[in-house]
Amino acid sequence: MPQSFCLHVAGDFACFTRPEMKVERVSYDVITPSAARSIFEAILWKPAIRWRVARIEVLAPIRWMNLRRNEVGAVISSSNVQQAMNAGQGDLALYVEDERQQRAGLFLRDVAYRLHAELDVRSGEPRQKYDEMFLRRAAKGQWVNQPYLGCREFAANVRLVEPGSEQPAAIAETRDLGWMLHDLDFTDLASPQPRFFRAQMQAGAIAVPAFEEAAA
């Protein structure tokens, strides 16, 4: 049986954007499995491994806030970047004053979760090597990149939960959270496809099905 790892994750703000909202950012009620996976990957990521999120516990009441922010409404075209690389020169500037947009968002605030995940080693290498590497990095607070809660500007406070240690209880709330994004299927790298699952929170805990069981 693969070892299960647990992280305590908290932050002042979070936004796990619903993909059906095209203009304004509207968050899911809780963290998505893909966002939880990215937090584990922020501690340890290698091409030979994949994280499988198995359980999400909600530790703080679900609270909302409305916020209007300035955002940039465009990105530099990849074709322009390729042309500049081939030519050795080019205009790749993006003028913020010309592309600035003000957008409203419905975000979460004062969030806290306990995330459970397993490490899937695909290369045939010994699992123990990666288990020890993750535990060492998580205990020391070492990241590949700064963990965040849906948006990079919403930094996450992360700590390793030791087995058997005393931890706060999940919220005493049960609700149907509806269809939620599980993760993206990268079988076709040119066109990743989203997969969804029906999220049910029971006494503050959400059991996450295997990625293969999620609906396309």
pLDDT of residue 61: 97
Give the model confidence (pLDDT) of 165-209 as tens digits.
899 999 999 999 999 999 988 878 788 889 999 999 999 999 999
pLDDT of residue 38: 96
Q: Which single residue is written with the structure tokens 């020169």?
A: 89
pLDDT of residue 83: 80
pLDDT of residue 71: 73
pLDDT of residue 110: 97
pLDDT of residue 126: 84
pLDDT of residue 78: 77
The whole-angstrom distance between residue 215's C-alpha and the CA centroid of its chain comes to: 19
pLDDT of residue 175: 95
Using 50, 70 and 90 to split pLDDT, how confident is the model at 216?
low
Q: Give Cβ neighbours of residue 130 (< 8 Å, ≥ 6 apart).
A: 44, 46, 48, 49, 119, 121
Using 50, 70 and 90 to split pLDDT, how confident is the model at 48?
confident
- Pairing outcome for strands 100-121 and 25-26: parallel
Mean pLDDT of 124-128: 83
pLDDT of residue 109: 97
Q: What are phi and psi of 31, to 5 degrees?
A: -65, 140
Residue-range domains of the chain with CATH: 4-69+105-186+195-213 (3.30.70.2660)
Q: Give Cβ neighbours of residue 179 (< 8 Å, ≥ 6 apart).
A: 196, 197, 198, 199
Q: How far is CA 31 from CA 109, 112, 143, in A?
A: 12, 10, 20
Give the model confidence (pLDDT) of 50-99 as tens digits.
999 999 999 999 999 998 877 776 777 777 778 878 877 777 777 776 76
In whole angstroms, give the CA distance from residue 216 to residue 193: 7
Encoded tokens for 189: 């790298």
Mean pLDDT of 128-150: 93
